[in-house]
Amino acid sequence: MNRRQSQITFLLIISIAIAINTSCGNEEETYSKPESIIVDPETGNYYVSNVNGIPADKDQNGYIVKLDKDLNVLKKAFIQSSDDVELNAPKGMAIVGKVLYVTDITSVRGYNKETGENVVDLDFEDRGAKYLNDIVADDNGNLYVSDMTTNTIFRIDTGNDHSVSVLIEGDELNQPNGLVIDPQTGNLVIAAWRGKILVLDDEGNLKPYIDREFTTLDGIDFDTAGNLYVSSFQLGEIYRITPDKRVTTIKKGLNSPADISIDHKKGLLLIPDMGANKIETIDLKKE
């Protein structure tokens, strides 16, 4: 199978999976295919990206919900398409300063996290991007963006007029999905859709993070103790990987957990259950 066939096959699989799995959750009036949830460490507010359609369609249906520190809805459509704003199928999110960045198929968009005003629009289509998924920021405000279908990870220098470069590309990325910065090493850790967890070391070498393969990995994050958490989209499971690489399944029976993250101050694992149209949390202090 060539790269083009692989890209088409992936988009068909993900679209069919979403269509089949979608069910009516208790929060369906608020959430519609929630893909990512993150906390603003400065305010304690949460943001939830909602695809609200087919994940690869530029239909301008997507929106971002803003929640307060107790997970109550402050504004359902805090950000949505309008005359001045385009938002199609928002997925991964990251905050740098006052800007909430979000991936949107072939674009990365930035919004004022307080007002929702669109302040940055970066078009990756001329760079060959097909399906931008996750985004993460390092301590210097640089952003890293995964493109699953082209096996590429981009780097955005927010301090240099948002200049864009390719960090790494190649089939060995195994369709990169979730991204996180290892707080101990500063290295980029990648959850690949094809089941591998990889780490990009200081010399730019791609290595296995753990000698085990999973199924359709999506979200990924570290807790303050150095444990790594990853979600399996198709199996509906979430795993904890300890620093010594022991694996435990801490949650089963989810519909399609997508881009999980952790509220480190509260010790909460944040889960967007995409197919169930709802979000869940797990108190990691009790696990």
pLDDT digit string (tens) for 193-216?
999 999 999 999 999 999 999 999
Does the structure show a pLDDT above 50 at 25? no
Domain range for 86: 3-286
Q: Are 279 and 270 in contact (CB under 8 A)?
A: yes
What's this model's pTM, rounded to 2 decimal places?
Answer: 0.91
Alpha helices, DSSP H only, in the chain? Answer: 3-21
- Cα dihedral 208, 268, 146, 6 in deg (nearest 10): 80
Which pLDDT score, from 0 to 100, does residue 83 have? Answer: 79
Which pLDDT score, from 0 to 100, does residue 93 have? Answer: 98
Residues 6+ apart with CB under 8 A from 52: 32, 33, 61, 62, 63, 89
Does the structure show a pLDDT above 80 at 165? yes
Which pLDDT score, from 0 to 100, does residue 22 have? Answer: 39
Task: Name the pLDDT band for 14 (thresholds 50, 70, 90).
Answer: low
Does the structure show a pLDDT above 90 at 240? yes
What percent of the chain has a predicted confidence (pLDDT) above 90? 87
When the pLDDT of each residue in the chain is averaged and rounded to a whole number, the result is 92
Least confident of 27-36, 168-177, 223-232: 27-36
Task: Name the pLDDT band for 77 (thresholds 50, 70, 90).
Answer: very high
Q: What CATH number did the domain enclosing 106 receive?
A: 2.120.10.30
> How many structural domains does the chain have?
1
Which pLDDT score, from 0 to 100, does residue 24 have? Answer: 34
Which pLDDT score, from 0 to 100, does residue 184 have? Answer: 95
Which pLDDT score, from 0 to 100, does residue 5 have? Answer: 47
Which pLDDT score, from 0 to 100, does residue 277 have? Answer: 97
Does the structure show a pLDDT above 50 at 81? yes
Show the 3-state SS of 111-180. EECCCCCEEEEEECHHHCCCCEEEEEECCCCEEEEEECCCCEEEEEECCCCCEEEEEEECHHHCCEEEEE
